[in-house]
Amino acid sequence: MNKETVLKAEDVAKTYHPGNVSVEAVQGISLSIEEGEHVSIVGPSGCGKSTLLYLLGALITPTSGRVIINGIPTENLKDRDLTGLRRKSIGFVFQQFNLIPTLTARANLGIATRLRGMAAGDEICRYLQLVGLEDKMDRRPNELSVGEQQRVSIARALVCNPAVILADEPTGSLDSKTSRGIMELLTKLNRENGRTLIIVTHNKKIAGMAGRVLHMLDGKIKG
Amino acid sequence: MISLAISNLQRRKVRSAICILAVALGITLLLVLVGLCSGVISESSRRVVRIGADIIVQPAGSSYFLGLRSGNLPVAYAGKIEEIDGVAGVSPLMTWTTTINNVIHVIYGIDLESFDRIGAGLSLKKGRYWTNDNEVMVDERLAKATGYKVGDEVTFLARPFTICGIYRAGIGSRVSMPLPALQDLLKQKDKASLFFIKCASRDENVVSTVAEEIAGRYPGLRPTEVAAYAEALQGNIDYLDEFIGTIISAALIISFLVILLALYTTILERTREIGILRAIGATRSYIMRSIVLESVILCAMGVLVGYLLSFLSTRWILFAHPLLTIETSTGWIVIAGGLGILGGVLGALYPALRASFLDPIEALRYE
């Protein structure tokens, strides 16, 4: 059975201009990621892994080249349409969890569903149960352990049912035991639910769990 | 969005409370000062209107504030004006000012007989009307504020008088004495400051015709229809509009600056959070609306607290200064509330715009 391409980068480059210098964080990368794939992006610090991830997730726009999400070219989309596409298609998991500190776990997921126009009280409970936090739904992030916070972050990424999960060092702030639990959860979601999973990581063991590993160096994919 | 806005406001309770208080102070300043201005002016004019006359005749060029001029009109004009068609009665009045407990009050010198003919007269509550030129009457509010009682000896304009009666407040001046007594005190025998005219009919045309006739016959006199007196009095106060405009501007600027500063610092503090919202799919307009909503909630609370503070301040001022009148109209309450919220919305616009244009990745990296 042919699988659909959910993300495609065509000769994508991103140059930053901090001060008077130019930094080519990503240089002419082309790649395709199919539905249900589990891809790891590895490489040394500063090689452009996170930048590539954010380009694929349309959180930043490329300096040149183009990104296609679910068959929709993003280069000419207005901010509102691009945000809508990201909201519909992409779920982000960050190293620092990035939960809204004043809101409970339930409300953090609630914001994501409301932004998508979903009335999803049951879905919120279901995903918090899925990540094992059914008894901590009404706790704020500071009342949860770091592992639990990352679980809330994963549940938030999943609750709107996106086709792709982009995870930037999702275990970077966790101890090895908690990391293992989080990765088991993510790979389970990939295998059993068919979610496309792209993970940026330093960790070779975590990278090795993916079906495909992209090695980056100096803004380019080396293999 | 509302739950997010409320949770953000709860995060910095002291800052939110200060914002609410600052907006409330602007509202209080506006309502109390405007209420005081309009209260004093409208109460003055209302007391003149309630006398019951239809026209006030003063020397041309006089101030509409009674009491700023003593007598330079011969009382004999009364008989001449009474001959005009449509005039039912004329009452000469002498006005002057005196100080009671360090507050200036207007004194009326009244001819009781003609004063009763032009309107309802002084409505006696205690004591009796004067029977000689050494007696005065005061109104209930002055009596209550000063503790004056019937039979008390008082000194007005350096001359002793006995209080013979207390009349209902809200008509004429707070102190009334026989016309000859005030003429004698001011050394202006047979003179009056003004005349109150009662027309045969209250019909606007009749009153206007009489006023025009007086103005035509006696160019040195200025007749003012009582119905238009309040407006004329207000127009007589230089820079009143500018004064009220300044208060309005102050209230608006306070709201604007406080909200601008509070939300600007909030945006800096919540940069990462804004990045999170953008990453999970919030549009720029969502970010803007959520910041403006915070401001509207703050300002709405400020407005409500402002209404409460205005009410309490008004009570306190009236308790401390019972002779003052503060009138806060529904219109001004609505205007004050609107200004408080408008200032907040304007103050929120720049921080909201700035927040909405934050680069999500830069925002997520912000520490």
Tens-place pLDDT, residues B330-364: 988 998 888 888 888 888 888 888 888 877 777 77
Ranking A25-34, A59-68, A109-118, A140-149 by mean pLDDT, the lowest is: A109-118
Q: How far is B312 from chain A, CA to nearest CA, in Å? A: 35
Rounded mean pLDDT of A113-125? 79
Q: Give me the pLDDT at residue B366, please.
A: 60
Q: Give me the pLDDT at residue B307, please.
A: 94
Q: Give the helix/strand (H/E) hosting B65.
A: none
With beta carbons under 8 A apart, name residues in chain B contacting A87: 280-281
A12 bridge partner residues: A29
Do the Cβ atoms of B273 and A114 come within 8 Å?
no
Q: Choosing among A59, A78, A159, which should be mutated to test the B contact, i.e. which has the most B CBs within 10 A? A: A59
CB B106 within 8 A of CB B40: no
Q: Choosing among A100, A127, A166, A200, which should be mutated to test the B contact, i.e. which has the most B CBs within 10 A? A: A100
Q: Give me the pLDDT at residue B247, please.
A: 80
Which of B126, B129, B128 lies closest to B148 in space, CA to CA?
B126
Residue with tokens 């007269």: B121
CB B225 within 8 A of CB B197: no
Do the Cβ atoms of B283 and A84 come within 8 Å?
yes
CB A216 within 8 A of CB A48: yes
Rounded mean pLDDT of A177-204? 84
The listed range with the strongest mean pLDDT (A182-186, B17-21, B98-102) is B17-21
Contacts made by residues A137-140, CB under 8 angstroms, sequence distance 24+? A137/A104, A137/A105, A137/A106, A138/A104, A138/A105, A138/A106, A139/A104, A139/A105, A140/A101, A140/A102, A140/A103, A140/A104, A140/A105
With beta carbons under 8 A apart, name residues in chain A contacting B7: 100, 102-103, 107
Q: Give me the pLDDT at residue B283, please.
A: 85
Q: Give me the pLDDT at residue B236, please.
A: 63
Which pTM does this prediction carry? 0.73
Sign of the CA dihedral running B60, B66, B69, B74: positive
Task: Give the CA radius of gyration of chain A.
Answer: 17
Closest CB to B280 among A60, A96, A115: A115
Tens-place pLDDT, residues A67-90: 999 899 998 888 888 888 888 888
All residues at 6 or more sequence positions from B338 whose CB lies less than 8 Å from its CB, including other chains: none
Do the Cβ atoms of B278 and A59 come within 8 Å?
yes
B248/A contact by beta carbon, under 8 A: no
Residue with tokens 């040195």: B220
Q: Give the helix/strand (H/E) hosting B70.
A: none
B358/A contact by beta carbon, under 8 A: no
**Average pLDDT over all residues of chain B:** 85
CB A86 within 8 A of CB B280: no
Give me the DSSP letters along B183-244.
HHHTT-TTEESEEEEEES---HHHHHHHHHHHHHH-TTEEEEEGGGHHHHHHHTSTTHHHHH
Ranking A46-60, A162-176, B200-214 by mean pLDDT, the lowest is: A162-176
B124/A contact by beta carbon, under 8 A: no
Do the Cβ atoms of B364 and A94 come within 8 Å?
yes
Strand, coil or helix: B317: helix
Rounded mean pLDDT of B49-56? 89
Do the interacting molecules here have an ipTM over 0.95?
A: no
Confidence of residue B365 (pLDDT cuts 50, 70, 90): low
Q: How far is B31 from chain A, CA to nearest CA, in Å? A: 36
Q: How far is A61 from chain B, CA to nearest CA, in Å? A: 11
Q: Give me the pLDDT at residue B91, please.
A: 94
Do the Cβ atoms of B281 and A87 come within 8 Å?
yes
Closest CB to B276 among A100, A114, A116: A100
CA distance from start to end of chain A: 26
